[in-house]
Structure 1
Amino acid sequence: MAPSKRITKYGPISKLSLFGNPTVFISGQAANKFVFTSTDKLSSQQNQSSRKILGEQNIFELSPEDHKRVRGAIVSFLKPESLKQYVTKRDEGVKKHLKMHWQGKQQVKVLPLTKTLTFDIICSLIFGLEQGTRKDSFVACFQEMIEGMCLKASAKVRNMVRGLIHEKRVELEQKGASPHQDLITCMLSNRNENNEEAVTEKEIVDNVIVVMVAGHETSAVLITFIMRLLANEPAVYVAVLQEQEEIAKSKPSGEFLNWEEIAKMKYTWRVAMETLRIHPPVFGGFPGRL
């Protein structure tokens, strides 16, 4: 039953069995406030099926202390000073994608194409992988894991991630890698007070998979709904187009975007935020047990 239909039939609070477990379903602003302000009362916990796919050490399963440590390692990579270096590179990748899959087409299927685009970006940001057979193999296993929630495919993805971790560790030890060149390298570079790796290999594997799953699907869905909004709202489309064209005209032809120009996309950002409000890619979660 869809969440909206369940709320209409049973109200914002109801009991059910979910994945074989007794569950309380809560919805609404008050419910969200309760969940997000009760971290001392609620322990984060996914259902057993998701836990097997994502791993026992994923950020949703960790204790408050471990959650803070692992989250800190992930967030350190997402700071503006780290992301600035990716803007030009990703702009180049997006332009190549549009030229290959969109330009000159009378009709396109937006969601599948945006999934391809977002996975290309994720492979670059997380693993430092660009186009090639290795990335294509990663895509195939990842898609199988997501679409079928397949343990066999999950095992293949984990083995690939472990291989990349070992390569990145060697690169760091040989001083040949920047700590912020990708997420795995950044997490490996985090050190505790004893100058030891602050995040274990198992935690890196499990949380890299979480980031892959979360970033891939949600970003693709958001872009798809933005495209739908622009198609259905001519005034919004014109305003977004005008903002983008003004930025394009202010720079030499052929030059890629930079961080400062992205910061100028005020109206485009508001459109994205409103789209997220109306069509959130994730409709719910599993906050855990009291």
Structure 2
Amino acid sequence: MELFFLCGMILFISLFLISLYLLHIHYHSARGYKLPPGTMGLPVIGESYDFLSAGWKGHPEKFIFSRLSKYEPSQVFKTSIFGEKMWVMCGAACNKFLFSKEGKLVEVWWPSSVNKIFPSTTQTDSREEAKNLKKLIPSIFKPESLQRYIPIMDKIAIRHMEDEWEGKDKVEVFPLAKHYTCWLACRLFLSIEDPVDVAIFADPFNHIVAGMFSIPINLPGTPFNRGIKAAKVMRRELGAIIKQRKLDLADNKASPTQDILSHMLLTSDEDGRFMNELDIADKILGLLVGGHDTTSATCANVVKFLAELPHIYDGVYKEQMEIAKSKAPGEHLTWEDIQKMKYSWNVVCEVLRLAPPLQGAFREALSDFMYDGYQIPKGWKLYWNAHSTHRNPKCFPEPEQFDPTRFDGSGPAPYTYVPFGGGQRMCPGKEYARLEILVFVHHIVKRFRWEKLIPEEIIVVNPIPIPAKGLPVRLHPHRQSLIY
């Protein structure tokens, strides 16, 4: 009897959800909206599984290009992802439109899974939240200010190589890259440098990022549930650090300019109000995640491509050894050294084209408006995807070929190369990431050659692009390595 009742309830709930879904579709069609081609997929789930599984299988671009091929010549299509009715907008023209209409026709939007993991994002208008965060991010991310952090990055990279790489025959690259970027983020954002203290933050990062862009089902064992739990652990640790920093600042034991945490604690808005500890913890957590997983994935993917392309490795090695030979014993890298790494940065840019850490981003329509002959209803979500241009032969000839020369001269056409987003919402940590990655490349290349232990290992997206098996490699130290 109980089983019969349970089955009946499941059937009733399913029919109810289907009815709501059909009612939503009817509502928009009844109002006369001319929507783009596409399908909304299954009730509630929509096409979320197709969207996510394409990345899990190592071909995130297939979700986009299979639909563009089906609906051509349209560069937009409708779908349902993460429980939301959504337009997917593809190509450079769509990128330009979305990036230029920020705050006018569209505003930033995050899936509900992000809001649950970062609860303070639901307490303020997203546009106001973006403005506040931009004010609170100090000059640490400006190139002229980052110069003074290069010796710190260099010092941590040297310690990381000595502790985790040297003397090893085999290593797994991605976990080590995460350790490096986590260590660096903790040092520059929180003034935490002891490896034991850094380790507290290392493990929860994976669960947080996976949970942020997952189907928001809060059941034990799901990525969403693990993400929420991991964020709570991190927030608790950050709360203790924030309380101690307040005391240290009051007693002049900490500097107001030593890191981003001090800046947030001492910066007020126009009305003289300071952020509460929960807001600060969430923003620091967001910056730590942003400054950790994306750059660690890129570092690992650089190692992957250099292993597969010996002629590219040789070009990077030559450039980095010229810099290494110019350094006196004990002398750290400088801003001038970074500026000499032009070929190395072109290589990194090509890695970012093929495996962008930011697959795309979401917006929400602030009002009804027209685009490309179709009507976007107010409240609908919009999604742009980097692969729609990065792997488009009209934007990048022979897009599957690895070619760093694409970035010589003036580089790609505007709005075609978007690994850091664009417009008002372009990643403020772009220059920070450039320095962090190039310092890593310098130290690994001048010490080793390497070979992949899983020759056919692919890059999967979950939700950032990482080697599927963590990229195990065999190291071949250079006979005469310059360690300064």
Give TM-score scaled by structure 1 length: 0.88
Secondary structure of the structure 1 residue equivalent to 2:253? coil
Q: 1:201 aligns with which of 269, 277, 280?
A: 277
SS of corresponding position for 1:287: strand
Provide the C-alpha distance between the structure 2 equivalents of 1:155 and 1:194, rounded to a whole number of angstroms: 30
**Closer/same/farther in 2, CA of residues 62 and 165 from structure 1, 3 Å limit:** farther
User: Are residues 62 and 168 of structure 1, via their aligned partners in 2, closer, same or farther at CA, if it must alter by over 3 Å?
Assistant: farther
Structure 2 CA distance, aligned partners of 1:266 and 1:10?
37
The answer for the alignment partner of 1:283 in structure 2 is 359
Deviation of the 1:71 alpha carbon:
1.1
Aligned pair count reads 288
1:157: Cα distance to partner?
A: 1.0
Q: Could you tell me which residue of structure 1 aligns to residue 62 of structure 2?
A: 5
- Shift in Å at residue 132 of structure 1? 4.3
Aligned to 2:99: 36
Partner of 2:218: none
How far apart, CA to CA, are the structure 1 residues paired with 2:362 and 2:253?
Answer: 41
One-letter amino acid of the counterpart of residue 241, structure 2:
L
C-alpha change, 1:9 and 1:156, in structure 2 (3 Å) is same
CA RMSD of superposed structures (Å): 2.5
Distance 2:276 2:230 in 1: 22
> Could you tell me which residue of structure 1 aligns to residue 349 of structure 2?
273
- Take 2:189 and 2:160, find their aligned partners in 1: how far apart are those partners? 19
Q: Please say which structure displays the higher CA radius of gyration.
A: 2
Please show how residues 156-195 of structure 1 align to structure 2 within 5 Å: 156-192=233-269
Q: Deviations over 1:28-84 (max 9, x none)?
A: 22221122111111121111112111233389x744344223212215231235433
1:117 aligned onto 2:187:
no
1:155 to 225, 232, 235: 232
**What is the alpha-carbon distance in structure 2 between the residues aligned to residue 101 and residue 219 of structure 1?**
18
Residue equivalent to 2:312:
236
Counterpart contact for 1:58–1:203, Cα < 8 Å = no
Aligned match of 2:302:
226
Cα deviation code 1:237-277 (max 9, x no counterpart): 22221221121111212322233322322222222222212
Change (3 A) 1:52 1:193: closer
What whole-Å deviation, never above 9, does each CA across 1:171-218 have from its counterpart, x for those lacking one? Answer: 222233223322211222334456654x44333222212212222111
Amino acid at match of 1:237: Y
Tell me if structure 1 keeps the 8 A contact 2:138–2:263: no
Instruction: Return the match for 1:92 from 144, 155, 161.
Output: 155
| Greater per-residue helix proportion | 1
CA distance in 2, matches of 1:160, 1:125: 17
Moved more, 82-91 or 220-229: 82-91
Asked whether the equivalents of residues 126 and 182 of structure 1 are also in contact (C-alpha less than 8 Å), the reply is: yes
2:137 match: secondary structure: helix
Q: Say if 1:63 and 1:4 are closer, same or farther in 2 by CA, change over 3 A.
A: closer
Question: Which segments of 5 or more consecutive residues in structure 1 lack a partner in the other structure?
Answer: none
Please give the alpha-carbon distance, in whole angstroms, between the structure 2 residues aligned to 1:200 and 1:71: 17
2:362 aligned counterpart, secondary structure: coil
Aligned partner letter, 1:6? F
| Cα deviation, residue 105, structure 1 | 3.0
Q: Distance in 1 between matches of 2:150 and 2:314?
A: 25
| Structure-2-length-normalised TM-score | 0.55
Structure 2: runs of 5+ lacking an equivalent = 1-49, 55-59, 69-74, 211-222, 367-484
The percentage of aligned residue pairs carrying the same residue is 34
Q: Secondary structure at the match of 1:43?
A: strand
**More divergent stretch after superposition (44-53 vs 129-138):** 129-138
Q: What SS does the aligned partner of 1:46 have? A: coil
Separation (CA, whole Å) in 2 of partners of 1:81 and 1:169: 28
Q: Return the alpha-carbon distance in structure 2 between the equivalents of residues 13 and 21 of structure 1.
A: 16
SS of structure 1 residue aligned to 2:106: coil
> Do the aligned partners of residues 134 and 253 (structure 1) sit closer, same or farther apart at CA in structure 2, a change above 3 Å counting?
closer
